[in-house]
Amino acid sequence: MNWLEAIILGLVQGLTEFLPISSSAHLRIVGELMGMDDPGAAFTAITQIGTETAVLIYFWKDIVRIISKWFKSMPWVKTGRVESSDPDVRIGWMIIVGSIPIGVLGLLLEDWIDSAFRNLWVTVTMLAFFAVLLGVADRFMPRRKTLDKMSWRDAILYGFAQAMALVPGVSRSGGTITMGRFLGYTREAAARYSFLLAMPAVFASGFYKVFKVAVGGDSVYVGPTVVATLIAFVVGYAVIVWFLKLVSTRSYQPFVVYRIALAAIIAIMLGAGVLQAVPAAM
């Protein structure tokens, strides 16, 4: 990977991470179209540290408030204790619970994530299938619930929806936003919770891959990966601002159309031999 490729992939990561269109699929496709080997799961996970740092900064006040109240709700706190029924405390617990499925499945399926799941025919299928699900949910489900109304059932379902993003083409935000809309949350609430829920899993995955690179289990181009991560952070922050404004007034239907069109284009390229279903490095 050279510096120009790193810059392009960083832009792609930043532009696509928070949109329901699958950043991992875009990195895989753009990398191959540039004549590169598959950037790999390690590169994807590490560059996501950049985009999640953008989430951390954008939602800093919310995150600090949630963590502060969560700690103050602990049984051993005597002064200034916050009740466990407080909405921020509940959200804190629900983010923890919702992060368990992707953590467990990510470790159990690690070999598949790094290999079989990266087959582009899998990506095509997931792009199209979850486009239909998102379209149906956004068009026909009610938009009444806000995050303070979230139940434990919803938190668990959100968690399993996020775990589906282990398969390229599903999209972390796409899976969780789709689930949120099926559960009746407003578009903005579904998007905000999607961002907050992703943070523990993405940071854990990214730093886990950093550790594996450091001890020699995985390999990445260190300098270009750092550059890509920094670019993903800057671009990702701008996308968060734009996306939350967009969904407060518009539907998700443009992303549904985009996913289906992208799936069709990838399928045509696979059939024509322009793209290879299985990365050359596998």
Pick from 37-41, 129-133, 204-208, 246-250 the range whose average pLDDT is largest.
129-133
The percentage of the chain sitting over the pLDDT mark of 70, rounded to a whole number, equals 92
- pLDDT tens column, 230-250: 999 999 999 999 999 998 888
What dihedral do alpha carbons 179, 249, 145, 16 form, nearest 10°? 30
Contacts of 5 (CB under 8 A, 6+ apart): 31, 34, 36, 224
> Tell me, what amino acid is at 199?
M
Contacts of 150 (CB under 8 A, 6+ apart): 90, 91, 94, 193
Phi-psi region at 145: left, alpha or beta (left = phi > 0; alpha = psi -120 to 50): beta
Rounded Cα distance between 201 and 223, Å, is: 24
Q: With cut-offs at 50, 70 and 90, classify the pLDDT of residue 202.
A: confident
Rounded Cα distance between 45 and 42, Å, is: 5
Model confidence pTM above 0.95 = no
Mean pLDDT, the chain, integer: 86
Contacts of 64 (CB under 8 A, 6+ apart): none
pLDDT of residue 84: 85
Rounded Cα distance between 60 and 129, Å, is: 34
Q: With cut-offs at 50, 70 and 90, classify the pLDDT of residue 211.
A: confident
pLDDT of residue 216: 64
Q: Is 212 exposed, middle or buried (0-12, 13-18, 19+ CB in 10 A)?
A: middle
The pLDDT of residue 218 is above 60:
no
The pLDDT of residue 4 is above 60:
yes
Q: With cut-offs at 50, 70 and 90, classify the pLDDT of residue 209.
A: confident
